[in-house]
Structure 1
Amino acid sequence: MISLRQQINRILIVALLSPVPGLSAESDIRLTDDRGDTLRLSAPAVRPAAISTFGADVALALGRTPVAVTDYGIEGVPDYLASQLVGVAGLGPRHQPNLEVLSSVRPDLVIGIRRYTEKDGDQISTIAPLLALDLITVDDSLRAVSLAGQALGAAEEASEFNQNFLARVQELAELNSNKTEPTVALLTSGSETPFLYYDHFLPTAMLEQLNFDNIGGAPPNPASGIPLGYRISLEALLGFDPDIILLLPTSRQRAFTLNPIWPYLTAVRNDNVYEVPHYWKEGAGPKARELILDDIQRLLLTGTPAESTE
């Protein structure tokens, strides 16, 4: 079995030491995104737009304010970015961005989630070069930060973000290395049946690297990354009986928490059920993934009291 240190070293080598596309002989920036398409920029982008929280996150982390951003519908932009996006044009929800508004703000780069931009990719590309990214796994995050850094003319800063992130993951893993591996479930949905995430989803992958055991298990299609998880009945959830339950935000009451089985779960009985913020949903950005690590350290590693939500 590959050790955690070997996993971290492998990711570091792939993401940071392997040759990556960059400046051509003519000083054009050439990048290959997760569609396999090649983008050509004559100069670093200075007016990026974001069809993703990631795009806004990475742009702001690198000191570039985006000209337009998508949101989570009625829930708006994530709180951790909101104060830095005052006055920035809104594109609406990420799955249905307003392309008229996008065109009107004249971006010179669009950073988008691949699965949400596939249907409009050709039209978006007529407005500005589209950097379409998967943004599902830790590897996706490392690659995406590197690519965005190159596109924004901040490759060294982006590389430093990745190195610091990996170093912190390893530090926290060592902090938790002598403990038993508690089981954990990351759930979402407002319906009667919760949605449980597989091991490859970025937050659950981070938990696995930090010596927690995600009950979601391995994905059936690791190459594609989709689906992200599956629906699980409360009876099946009780069969796994995780030590810790983490709940992603939802705009509706979580009907599954009203199921008579819910109070019998170990995590519920021991007050180890926590609601985590929106950035857990799309945590690939350099700011978001650090905040996820902050939450894991505060809630699960140091024993700091936290408010149980259910």
Structure 2
Amino acid sequence: MAIALLCVLVVPAGWADNQNLELTDDRGATLRLTSAAVRPAAISSFGADVSLALGIVPVAVTDYGLQGVPDYLAGQLKGVQTLGPRHQPNLEILSELSPDLVIAIRRYTEKDGAHIESIAPLLALDLISLPDSLRAVDLAGRALGAHEKAVALNGEFLERLKKLAARADGNPVKTIALLTSGSETPFIYYDHFLPTALLEKLGFDSVGGHPNPENGIPLGYRISLEALLELNPDIILMLPTSRQRAFTMNPIWPYLKAVRGDRVFEVPHYWKEGAGPIARERILEDIERLLVHPSEAVADK
């Protein structure tokens, strides 16, 4: 199976005296920095992830409510101020901390963008697809004065992806669905969402299909159990939820091939926001276990 690797344009990002660094984020907005940021704040797991991967501890991070900061980063974020959930960060606390950069998910900060920019330069990112991840790591590396390391992280990730794809080449193609939601109707992710895109590159066929261009946030869509049964994936992966998954109580659920074959796995929370260098490496590790040792769960069922 061939794999098309994505290239990141490498441009020197040296800091010159009395010269601003100009970056264009995913809003198309230009932010200007007079020196590398050393006190970033993260309105996203990505912001914390990329900062830590580049050797900088952020001054503030968003959390998952009662679940706290992301488990996979918690050990490195002890004592770091939390801002509350990413969709409703506490901007008063953010202002008090005086960050010199805010790294955020674009769709969660559009309504407060002007307020955030009055506090610090805002790097607002889409963080949906693999190209989004590569570009975001590159931009964050420039802003944090660690561009060479960011380029290296992207290159190492793509090389690992290429090697893993070569191992998967020739394996029988299995269909797969990535689901979330605690309601009666699950949400299924499109095949360009970062984790499903990685699955596609590693020999799986994501049944969520291609993004609908009419969807303002092309992540995925609600799918009925009847429609899911029609697609009938070999494997179902489910993002964690704090609520009971009502759709698994549907009488159709036991008839799904993945359920009958005991091929339903819960994946860790970083699959939902996996664009950071640390998270995406962990996602590859999870997929590798699924590929090499299919009898081992990616996480607890």
- Match for residue 115 of structure 1? 107
- Match for residue 295 of structure 1? 286
CA-to-partner distance for each residue in 1:134-186, whole Å, 9 max, x for gaps?
Answer: 00000000000000001000000000000011011111111111111100000
Q: What amino acid maps onto 1:106 in structure 2?
A: S
Q: Any gaps of 5 or more consecutive residues in structure 2? A: none
Q: State the Cα distance separating 1:295 from its structure 2 match.
A: 0.5
Q: What amino acid maps onto 2:286 in structure 1?
A: D
Of residues 227, 230, 239 in structure 2, which corresponds to 1:236? Answer: 227
Query: Aligned runs of 1:171-186 on 2, under 5 Å?
Result: 171-186=163-178
- Match for residue 264 of structure 1? 255
- Match for residue 277 of structure 1? 268
User: Closer, same or farther in 2 for the Cα pair 1:16/1:307, shift >3 Å?
Assistant: closer
Aligned residues: percent identity? 66
Of residues 9, 27, 50 in structure 2, which corresponds to 1:16? Answer: 9
User: Closer, same or farther in 2 for the Cα pair 1:254/1:70, shift >3 Å?
Assistant: same
User: Closer, same or farther in 2 for the Cα pair 1:51/1:34, shift >3 Å?
Assistant: same
- Provide the C-alpha distance between the structure 2 equivalents of 1:240 and 1:123, rounded to a whole number of angstroms: 45
- Provide the C-alpha distance between the structure 2 equivalents of 1:227 and 1:273, rounded to a whole number of angstroms: 25
Q: State the Cα distance separating 1:74 from its structure 2 match.
A: 2.0
Of residues 240, 250, 267 in structure 2, which corresponds to 1:249? Answer: 240
- Provide the C-alpha distance between the structure 1 equivalents of 2:299 and 2:94, rounded to a whole number of angstroms: 40
- Match for residue 35 of structure 2? 43
TM-score (norm 2): 0.95
Q: State the Cα distance separating 1:260 from its structure 2 match.
A: 1.2
Partners of 2:186 and 2:247 within 8 A in 1: yes
Of residues 64, 67, 77 in structure 2, which corresponds to 1:85? Answer: 77
User: Closer, same or farther in 2 for the Cα pair 1:296/1:65, shift >3 Å?
Assistant: same
- Provide the C-alpha distance between the structure 1 equivalents of 2:298 and 2:200, rounded to a whole number of angstroms: 23
- Provide the C-alpha distance between the structure 2 equivalents of 1:295 and 1:225, rounded to a whole number of angstroms: 30
- Provide the C-alpha distance between the structure 2 equivalents of 1:24 and 1:304, rounded to a whole number of angstroms: 54
TM-score (norm 1): 0.93
- Provide the C-alpha distance between the structure 2 equivalents of 1:307 and 1:46, rounded to a whole number of angstroms: 36
Q: State the Cα distance separating 1:77 from its structure 2 match.
A: 1.1
- Match for residue 157 of structure 1? 149
Partners of 1:173 and 1:211 within 8 A in 2: yes
Q: Any gaps of 5 or more consecutive residues in structure 1? A: none
- Provide the C-alpha distance between the structure 2 equivalents of 1:115 and 1:148, rounded to a whole number of angstroms: 18
- Match for residue 70 of structure 1? 62
Q: State the Cα distance separating 1:73 from its structure 2 match.
A: 1.8
Partners of 1:200 and 1:225 within 8 A in 2: no
Partners of 2:267 and 2:298 within 8 A in 1: no
1:226 maps to 2:217 = yes
Q: State the Cα distance separating 1:37 from its structure 2 match.
A: 1.0
Q: State the Cα distance separating 1:28 from its structure 2 match.
A: 2.2
User: Closer, same or farther in 2 for the Cα pair 1:4/1:20, shift >3 Å?
Assistant: farther
Partners of 1:272 and 1:308 within 8 A in 2: no
Report the secondary structure of 1:246's partner residue: strand
Partners of 1:49 and 1:111 within 8 A in 2: yes
Partners of 1:41 and 1:151 within 8 A in 2: yes
Q: What amino acid maps onto 1:57 in structure 2?
A: D
- What is the total number of aligned residue pairs between the two structures? 301
- Provide the C-alpha distance between the structure 1 equivalents of 2:299 and 2:148, rounded to a whole number of angstroms: 40
- Provide the C-alpha distance between the structure 1 equivalents of 2:272 and 2:296, rounded to a whole number of angstroms: 23
- Match for residue 47 of structure 2? 55
